[in-house]
Structure 1
Amino acid sequence: MRPEIQRVLVRLRSWIRRYVLAEGIAATIALACLLFWLTFGLDLAWFKLSQLELPGWFRILCTIAMVTLIAGTAIVWIGLRLFRRLDQTDLALALERKFPELNDRLITAVQLSERGGSDVQSAMLERTTDEAVSRLSAIELKKTINPVPLKRMLTAASVLLASVLGLGLADAQGMERWYQAYILGRDDYWEPFRRNELHIQIVAQPGDRIRSFDARGIYKHPRGEDLQVLATVPESAVPPHRVNLQFIGFGGAGQQRGQVSMSRMGDDEFRHTFSRMVNDHQLWFRGGDYVNRQPFRVQVVDPPRVDSIELRCDYPSYTGLDSLEDRNVRVVGMQVALPMETEFELQASSNKPLLQVLLRTPNFELSFGFDATATGTRPTKLTLLDPEHATSQTVELNVSPATLFDQDRRKFHVPLTVTLDAAKQLARLKDKPEFPLPLVPDQTVQIILIDEDQIESPEPATLTVNGIVDQSPVVETRRTGIGTAVTRMASIPLEGKITDDYGVAGAWFGYRTNVQPQEQKLPLANLPQGQKEFRLQQTPEQAVERLNLIPLQLEDGQTLTLSVYAEDADNLNGPHVSHGELFTFQIVSKDDLLAKLFDREVTLRARFEQIRSEVQEMRNSLDGTRDQIATTEKTPAAAAGQSQVISAYVDRALHQIRKNHTESRSIELSFRDLRDEMVNNRIDTAELLERIERRIIEPMSFLNNSDFLDVDRRLGALRLAVERQTAMGVAAEEVTASVDHLLAQMDLILAEMKDRGTINDLIQNLQDIIKREKQLLEQIEEKRIEDSFFGPPK
């Protein structure tokens, strides 16, 4: 092949390759710019619509598509075309098609030069080659390639590239946002470019505590409590005009969707309250160009609560309750009572693991527990409060919270003591804080729990510890067999009992006289041994305690005040001393006492005579009733009317006889008291005791225990006979006989009382004579003294 033809074909091949390269690069650039604008526009439109970044998976697909399209374009438009083999025949044909004047000479010369041939053929080839070279020199080789498509492609690529570069200069943030979204693949690529921003928190109760969602966007909320959501605008952001809250609630009935507009509170705060939230929720917030990518999740959980409280008590030793210390006191309700000065350990259990515990009283607050990580401990702090001066002081106790919690942190225990000396002990804690902490009696302890979800008890558990003050012993005494007038030889009997909450430690007689007002003590014959109930008795057979007046050497006319005293074993706030009734006795002579007893006996005799007369009246009316009964039995026609009259009489008689019986028994007891007073005052004689015991008391006892009951029983039989209208006459006769016997016995007793009255009258008359003689002697002595000092001179 002639060199001239070869040079033309090489130049053509070079121009074609440069054309393909330029066009391929331009096409690739244009496509890349088009894809940039497409993805940039999609991202911007999506953000305007949803204020959210495009989903990551979508951006990854876009990036893969862009890379694929650009690479494919580069391969198709550059690789395949640029490296395509261009033979000399192909190039010659291209020139022949572009320049018809070559008249196939160029293609003939190229093809024949490759084959060779005879001399004639060589001559013809030479001539054809000459003609081809001659004509090639006359054509413009540049016109072989059409520059218009290349220019269009270059123009489009330049325009698109210039627009992208212009965007980069005008909106560098937009370019950076596109780069972070599609190249770096960041999920929050819009975040630096937002104008609005919200900080979402929870206003937790009690105390309006600000709580944040955790790193996973979860907040645990106590079941049934109000949820107040707080959206605040940071200082660097522009507050939105409005914030919308969208939510989904997950309940037993399915999902519940809703949307509300949050209430604006000032310039940079928005709030909304969900009332009594009981189901889990997911929350989305939209304000301006802000929206949360992932929902905030509210998980509803049970709040911490105190399930049970038990007290492990160490009672004061004087209470005698040591045997109960191995049994915890379970608190039922909100109140418990303990003996004063009891040290106890408050043991409480909760429904879930705890983070912190706060015990609050009007005088102090104790807090202990762990920090939010549930691994590090917080100092055990005691805040001493002074409500009167509204001051407080906080001290630390050298106690690890781990020692106050059980291993699972569902139980905790705090040493306390209920004491009357709480104020002084609290003051000492300022210098030396230690357990147990003193409680003022009857004050309420509030227990506030914070669980591992940092949820605080909606309402504190309360416990009121009532301190049982050890009361003074209760002394119940009464006189028996003695009156208010006694002789100086008397032995005063007292009966009764002494009771105390935890046992009587001691008891004694306390007395004083008008001559010696200072109280004196005398021991009891039988002393208490710590019994909770102590009976006054000298011996098991003698259920009274006696005070013998002989050692006191009293004189007639003096006044004696006597009582029984007792004390308990309280060695902490006591001992407490109390006494029973104060008995006042007048010391009299034997004769004076006998006179007083005689006066009482005369009164009793008069009462007994009144009873006897009432029984006699009933007996007299009984005769008329017997006549009515006889008439009724003879005339059955009049039985109905007469029966009502007879029944009325029987009822009145029963009432009367029972009244008389009660009064008679009272008189019998009074005579027994008279006898006892004589014995206790040591003015008795064998004859006096025999007469009053055998002739009055014993007959009256038989009268009351037999005769009155017999009359009552026969009156009852008469009433039954009247109701049945049978044997009424016989029943009436039996009543008459029984009443007559009763009257006869009463007459015998009255006769004995009158005989005693005769003797007593003689004694009384003799005492009156002695008394008048004494008064006369006193008057004579006064007259003599008067005459000696004030009489006329001799």
Structure 2
Amino acid sequence: MVSGLLFLGCCVAVVFWTTTTLDAGWFQLQKLELPVGLRAILLAVLLPCGLLLLARRVIFPLVRRLRDSDIALLVERRFPQFQDRLITSVESSHRISDEGPLVKPMLERSVREADALAGDVAADDVFDTSHLKRLGLMSGGLMLSVACVGIVSPQSLTRWWSAFVRCDEIYHQRTTDLVLHAVSQPSDRRLAFQTIDQRLTYRHPRGADLELEMIVPDGGPQTGQMWVVPDRVRIDVIRVDGSRSRTYVSASSARTFRFVVTRLQEPVQIELLAGDYRTRVPYQIVVVNPPGIDAVELRCTYPEYTGWNQLRERTLTMTGSEVQLPVGTSFELVATSSKPLQAVRIVSDHFELSGDRDSSQLLLRDEQTSANSDNGPLLSRDGRMITTRMMIVPPVATTTDPAKPIETTTVSTDNSCLQIPFSANLRFFLHDDDDVMSASPETLSVQGIPDAPPLVVAQMNGVGNAVTRLARIPVSGRIRDDYGLQSAGFEFLVDDESTWRPRPFRRVPTTHATDFDLQRSDDEPFEIFDLQPLELSEGQTLTLSVVASDDNQMLTPAVTRSEPLLFRIVSNEEVLSLLYTREISLRNRFEEVIAQLEQIRNDLQFQTDVARRVDAAGAAASLEDRASLNTSATRSGNNVRRQTNELNSIVEGFEQIVQQLENNAIPPQQQAEEMRATIVRPLQNVSGEMMATADRAVSAFRVAALDAQPTETLVIRSSEKVSDVIASLKLILDSVRDMAEFHELLKEGKAIEDKLEQLMQNMKDLQKRELLQKLKGI
């Protein structure tokens, strides 16, 4: 039993030192505890072996008893001199047989001889204790070493017990500790790693920089001790393919280390080693897509007066980052996110709306933004839908006059509608269920389209700035408005009046018309302003304007007035004088056109002989002749087109003279019609038909000359067509000169009439003076 106990003690001490050495070596190399599985296997193997040794070497010898006969046999084997006397004595000790007269004396004699021999035998000669002594020394030494370790370093025994008996996961007391956080953007948020599937995990947005912060915490492993700050930290980045990159970082501050992986695109694992600290299980970095907005939909309700609710699509799907809506439009913003969100913030320069799946909160940043929010959820229950209602309000009207109050705009809205300025940039900051926040916000620019005032363009036709008192002023133009007109008409001032007087159109715009052309009828694309009802006198002035107002119900209807048209009331003779001056200018231009056409004709006639020589010579024609034909054809064609344009301008000038004669009601009325019949219409025929025919003939000549084709016939034809035009224009010119003579006679008659009126006035003044002198004499 004693040897069993000693042997068992030796085994325990050997196991202790072996496992302790193994653990110390492993920790020195890896800065980690032995794997729990390995220690559990060792415990599972060593514990049964120990129990077996205890049973066989201690307990079993303790409970087993040797018989006297066995001991006697053992002694007789060791000492042969007993010659079976000892075993005979032991067996006969119980009783002496009486079977014969010699048996008993013989047994008694054997007992006496055995006793005599036993007196000479020592116990040490029977039992060999040298092995037991050696085992005791060995066991004592080993147990003493363990006891010394327990006295000098009690935590070593505790650590061994925790490691190999309790199989604790952590049993080494370290002097260095690190706390790892991920620094997430925006706002440098420090996020702790979360336990997912029994691993510390951080979800990182794809493509963003991974910034890790390692901090040596305050305090220490025990009371009165402080954690040791390492000189540097070793960081191993383990990628999906098993490759590993190693980096050493130094402290960025007293107890802080920072490490950055730029633009991380794939999941990685992070291992840390600093001093005697090492991560047992690598930190896991899972790369996820950052939150974004896949689609934005606006369900609009436009102001009723715009008519857009019936004319336009009310549900708008955004394809860009900007939307323009009429001021006063209320809309429900529905944005679909790319992944479930836990919170969202909608930020503008005037407000900040934040919320989650249960509630929302509104923060106003100025006094111009007002809202009535019911604090309902901003996100749907699944976190994929952002929903809010907004209304675009017009700008607040201000004034620089301190005597006038500031006018504000009142907009009716329901309790769940947020009123936003007419120009708002909405920035969406998303926070998803992976605790990832969007680093750059999604932006939606909502631009309110103010109800612009009507656009009015008007111009006078067929009259000049000098008109007679019976004139009828044609006014053409167009009126446009973005949402619809309310009214339109004339307004005018006479002389120095300050209040505009209205006069309606003959044809007024329809209700909510957005585009209106001034016209009396389908055949008369203009409106007429008649001066006769005003009974104006010569020398007075008239200011005429076209005015239009819209149906703006958000503020007040806007009124727009066209550029004023200024007129001076003159006599018929003065109008005729002005027209005569203009007619002389047109006649000079007319004569210049004829002169230019004669030059073209003469040039073509000269080129007839050249064309004849070239056609006769064929391919042998001189280069000078061909170049002359080409130059003449090109020059003639260009000049014909220039004169056509000039002639069209002259036609317009004569037509305006005719219209002014008609609109100013200058007698005789047949004068205007005669001028149209003898001058305007013939000129229109020449410029529209004959000049086009001449241009085509000259163009055919130019093409043939450039292609080296026969040109004689074409030159002759071109000359004939130009001659026909000249002949027709000269006939019209005679009519123009006749009309000029008539106007000169009228002018001379007007001069005579003015002279007679002056003479009559002088005669009256003379008679007055003579009468006054006679009265003085009386």
TM-score surpassing 0.5? Answer: yes
Q: Does the aligned pair in 1 maintain the 2:374–2:416 contact within 8 Å?
A: no
Per the alignment, residue 14 of structure 1 pairs with none
CA distance 1:397–1:787, change in 2 (3 Å): farther
Asked if the contact 1:265/1:271 (under 8 Å) is kept, the reply is yes
Moved more, 449-458 or 336-345: 336-345
Report what 2:41 is aligned to.
61
Structure-1 separation of matches of 2:312 and 2:259: 53
Per-residue CA distance 1:750-777 (angstroms, 9 max, x = gap) = 4433443344333322322343455567
1:177 corresponds to which residue?
159
The one of 449, 469, 488 equivalent to 2:430 is: 449
In the TM superposition, what are the counterparts of 1:660-671 in structure 2 within 5 Å? 660-671=643-654
Q: Summarize the Cα distance change of 1:713–1:228 in structure 2 as closer, same or farther, 3 Å threshold.
A: closer
Percent identity (aligned): 30
Please give the root-mean-square deviation of Cα atoms over the aligned residues, in Å.
4.0
Alpha-carbon separation, structure 1, partners of 2:720 and 2:254: 113
Deviation at 1:197, TM superposition (A): 0.9
Asked if structure 2 preserves the Cα contact closer than 8 Å seen for 1:490 and 1:680, the reply is yes
1:546 aligns with 2:535: no
Counterpart amino acid of 1:413?
A: T
AA aligned opposite 2:747: Q
**Alpha-carbon distance in 1 for matches of 2:151, 2:713:** 143
Is residue 355 of structure 1 aligned with residue 337 of structure 2? no
2:194 partner SS: coil
Partner of 2:559: 577
Q: Which residue of 1 aligns with 2:100?
A: 118
Change (3 A) 1:688 1:67: same
Match of 1:694 among 669, 673, 677: 677
Aligned in 2, Cα 1:246/1:324: closer, same or farther, shift over 3 Å? farther
Give yes or no for the alignment of 1:213 onto 2:193.
yes
Aligned to 1:526: 507
Within the alignment, does 1:247 sit opposite 2:236 as a pair? yes
Bigger mean CA deviation after superposition, 541-550 or 770-779? 770-779
| 2:87 alignment partner in structure 1 | 107
Displacement after TM superposition at 1:106 (Å): 2.8
Q: Structure 2 stretches of 5 or more lacking a match?
A: 221-226, 399-407
- Contact kept? 2:607, 2:715, Cα under 8 Å: no
Contact 1:472 1:576 (8 Å CA) reproduced? yes
C-alpha distance in 2 between matches for 1:144 and 1:444 = 109
Paired residues for 1:126-525 under 5 Å: 126-133=108-115, 145=127, 149-150=131-132, 153-154=135-136, 156-190=138-172, 193-215=173-195, 216-237=199-220, 238-251=227-240, 254-323=241-310, 326=313, 328-369=315-356, 377=358, 379-385=359-365, 398-401=374-377, 404-421=378-395, 435-525=416-506
Deviation string 1:650-686 (CA, Å, 9 cap, x unpaired) is 6555554544443333333222222222222222444
- 1:49 matched to 2:25? The reply is no
Partner of 2:224: none
What residue number does 1:4 align with?
A: none
Q: Secondary structure at the match of 2:27?
A: helix
With normalisation by structure 1, the TM-score equals 0.83
One-letter amino acid matched to 2:444: L
The alpha-carbon distance between structure 1 residues 248 and 714, as it changes in their structure 2 partners (threshold 3 A), is closer
Q: CA deviation at 1:417?
A: 3.5
Report the Cα offset of residue 648 of structure 1. Answer: 4.8
Give me the whole-angstrom Cα distance separating, in 2, the residues matched to 1:248 and 1:472: 66
Instruction: Give the CA deviation at 1:454.
Output: 0.8
Residue 373 of structure 1 is matched in structure 2 by none
- Superposed CA deviations along residues 481-503 of structure 1, whole A, max 9, x for unmatched, are 11111122222111121222333
CA contact under 8 A between 1:345 and 1:415: conserved in structure 2?
yes
Matches of 1:76 and 1:395, distance apart in 2: 90
Cα deviations across residues 231-277 of structure 1 (Å, max 9, x unaligned)? 111111323423443435334xx321122212212221112111222
The question of whether the paired residues in 1 share the 8 Å contact of 2:301 and 2:314 is answered with no
CA distance in 1, matches of 2:709, 2:162: 124
Q: CA deviation at 1:511?
A: 1.6
Q: Structure 2 matches for 1:18-57, cutoff 5 A?
A: 20=1, 22-57=2-37
Q: CA contact under 8 A between 1:249 and 1:279: conserved in structure 2? A: no
Cα 1:571/1:688, change in 2 over 3 Å:
same
CA distance in 2, matches of 1:49, 1:640: 104
| Number of residue pairs the alignment of both structures matches | 749
Offset, 1:504: 3.0
User: Can you list the C-alpha shifts for 1:281-318, whole angstroms capped at 9, x where unaligned?
Assistant: 12211111111111111112222222333333322333
1:478: Cα distance to partner? 1.9
Say which SS state the counterpart of residue 415 (structure 1) adopts: strand
- 1:450, distance to aligned residue in structure 2 (A): 1.9
The code of the aligned residue for 1:289 comes to D
- Residue deviations 1:34-56 (CA, integer Å, cap 9, x gap): 33333333323322232211111
| CA positional deviation for 1:199 | 0.7
Equivalent residue number for residue 57 of structure 2: 77
Contact 1:355 1:452 in 2 (8 A): yes
CA contact (8 A) 1:441 1:467 kept: yes
Report Cα offsets for 1:193-221 as digits up to 9, x if no partner.
22111111111222221111112211111
How far, CA to CA, are the matches of 2:746 and 2:763 in structure 1?
Answer: 26
Residue deviations 1:619-661, cap 9 Å, x none?
A: 6667666677788899999887556556655655555454444
State which of 712, 730, 740 in structure 2 corresponds to 1:728. 712
Normalised by the length of structure 2, the TM-score is 0.85
Cα deviations by residue, 1:584-624 (Å, 9 ceiling, x for unpaired) = 11111233323333333344334434444554566666766
Deviation (angstroms), 1:137 = 7.2
Provide the C-alpha distance between the structure 1 equivalents of 2:704 and 2:23, rounded to a whole number of angstroms.
120
Matched letter for residue 554 of structure 1: L
In structure 2, C-alpha distance between the alignment counterparts of 1:143 and 1:721, rounded to whole Å: 154
User: Which segment drifts farther, 441-450 or 270-279?
Assistant: 441-450
Q: Partners in 1 of 2:741 and 2:604 — Cα distance? A: 34
What is the CA–CA distance in structure 1 between the aligned matches of 2:72 and 2:724, rounded to whole Å?
A: 178
- Superposition deviation, residue 535 in structure 1: 0.9
Q: CA deviation at 1:553?
A: 3.1
Name the SS for the 2:356 alignment partner. strand
For residue 687 of structure 1, report the CA deviation from its aligned partner.
3.0
**Which region of structure 1 is more displaced relative to structure 2, 627-636 or 531-540?**
627-636
Could you tell me which residue of structure 2 aligns to residue 600 of structure 1?
A: 582
C-alpha distance 788-577 of structure 1, shift in aligned 2 (>3 A): farther
